[in-house]
């Protein structure tokens, strides 16, 4: 675990500007969305103007978070340039997707992140021991002597509960519980968040789950388990794409599994690979071999192949370097 920069350094930089564009990574998850909305609340309380943008639509799973309507999709309604841009929960320019040019044209880019292999220059605050980037945003609130609004508290709790896997992953720390407890004191209702994210599924999601589980296969003597989700499945059942990431949890349930993989086909035909592992197996190293990255036990990458071909490529690699 390591740390680069400090919360104080970032807070000083945030106080300097007046108008900020906040960006996160493609395929926005709970931590990216929660961190963006939490940081927006902090900046607004500091009297700053804030614009939030995402390359893609935020999954319906997270539409319950107050302020979600602030997130603009693509360049719609964005200014031509922003002097100050903050990249949140993202480790390199490529992960911002089609909005990358805003980073390249900005006078100052500030980065707040908790991923290994962060490639941004300073000023940045990267602490890989943080359970979620939302933890770092909460740290900024405390340092500034400010309190998250009710909506921001929900956003930050969402960031932490999703990136810790409902407080079950190896990155769950006493600090994560301390922050969560403080957010509950601000009005967050844990059951309501749990219900909104994990129990509110449409019929298509459940039917697709059966189809996906039927694709489950093992490799490496059962130490590797993988599932495949192609465009034909997605077209037939039309599930919320944000929800589809939850399917990998079922692959992780198989007795003896060390690495679980989800190969999900994207609209352009390429395949997004989600990697999960048990403590002691660092899949971020493997994901980086395919141009991706992430955390030791949760990483991702994208491969310019259809799912079955991508699976064959990854499994061949694992056969040489893991099995």
- Domains of the chain, earliest start first: 3-197 (3.90.1640.10), 203-321 (3.10.310.30)
pLDDT at 132: 96
- Looking at residue 270, its pLDDT comes to 93
pLDDT at 169: 86
Tally the C-alpha atoms within 13 A of residue 118's C-alpha that lie toward its C-beta.
28
Buried b (16+ CB within 10 A) or exposed e, 209-219: bebbeebeeeb
Give residue 52's pLDDT. Answer: 97
> Residue 104: its pLDDT value, please?
93
Cβ contact 39:86 at 8 Å:
yes
pLDDT, position 239: 65
* pLDDT at res. 240: 65
Q: Torsion over CA of 35, 7, 167 and 56, rounded to 10 degrees? A: 20
Of the candidates 150, 85, 146, 145, the residue with the CA atom closest to the CA atom of residue 121: 85
Nearest alpha carbon to residue 64 among 140, 162, 167: 162
C-beta neighbour count of 104 within 10 angstroms:
10
pTM of this structure:
0.87
The per-residue pLDDT for 243 is 60
* Phi, psi of 289, rounded to the nearest 5 degrees: -65, -20
Running along the chain, 323 residues long, what does each successive block of 10 average in pLDDT? 87 94 92 98 97 92 95 90 94 90 94 89 93 97 98 98 91 96 98 92 86 93 94 80 74 94 92 93 94 87 95 96 92
Q: For residues 227 and 215, is the Cβ–Cβ distance under 8 A?
A: yes
Q: What does the alpha-carbon distance between residue 165 and residue 297 come to, in Å, rounded to a whole number?
A: 11
């Amino acid at each position: 675990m390591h740390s680069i920069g400090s919360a104080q350094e970032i807070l000083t930089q945030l106080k300097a500007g007046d108008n900020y564009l906040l960006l996160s990574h493609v395929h926005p998850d709970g931590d990216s969305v929660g961190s963006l909305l939490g940081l927006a609340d902090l900046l607004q309380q500091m009297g700053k103007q804030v614009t939030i943008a995402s390359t893609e639509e935020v999954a319906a799973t997270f539409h319950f978070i107050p302020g979600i309507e602030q997130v603009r999709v693509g360049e719609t309604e964005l200014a031509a340039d922003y002097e100050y841009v903050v990249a949140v929960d993202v480790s390199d320019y490529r992960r911002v997707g089609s909005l990358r040019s805003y980073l390249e044209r900005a006078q100052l880019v500030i980065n707040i992140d908790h991923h290994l292999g962060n490639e941004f220059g300073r000023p940045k605050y990267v602490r890989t021991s943080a359970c979620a980037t939302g933890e770092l945003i909460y740290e900024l609130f405390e340092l500034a002597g400010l309190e998250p609004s009710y909506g921001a508290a929900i956003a930050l709790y969402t960031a932490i509960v999703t990136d810790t896997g409902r407080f079950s992953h190896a990155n769950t720390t006493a600090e994560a519980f301390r922050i969560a407890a403080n957010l509950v004191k601000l009005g967050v209702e844990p059951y309501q968040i749990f219900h909104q994210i994990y129990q509110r599924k449409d019929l298509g999601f459940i039917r697709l789950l059966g189809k996906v589980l039927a694709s489950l296969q093992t490799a490496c003597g059962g130490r590797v388990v993988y599932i495949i989700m192609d465009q034909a499945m997605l077209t037939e059942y039309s599930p919320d794409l944000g929800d589809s990431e939850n399917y990998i949890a079922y692959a992780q349930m198989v007795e003896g599994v060390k690495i679980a993989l989800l190969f999900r086909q994207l609209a352009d035909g390429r395949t997004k690979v989600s990697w999960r592992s048990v403590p002691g197996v660092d899949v971020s190293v493997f994901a980086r071999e395919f141009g991706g990255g992430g955390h030791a036990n949760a990483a991702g990458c994208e491969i310019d192949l259809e799912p079955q071909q991508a699976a064959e490529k990854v499994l061949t690699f694992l056969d040489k370097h893991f099995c």
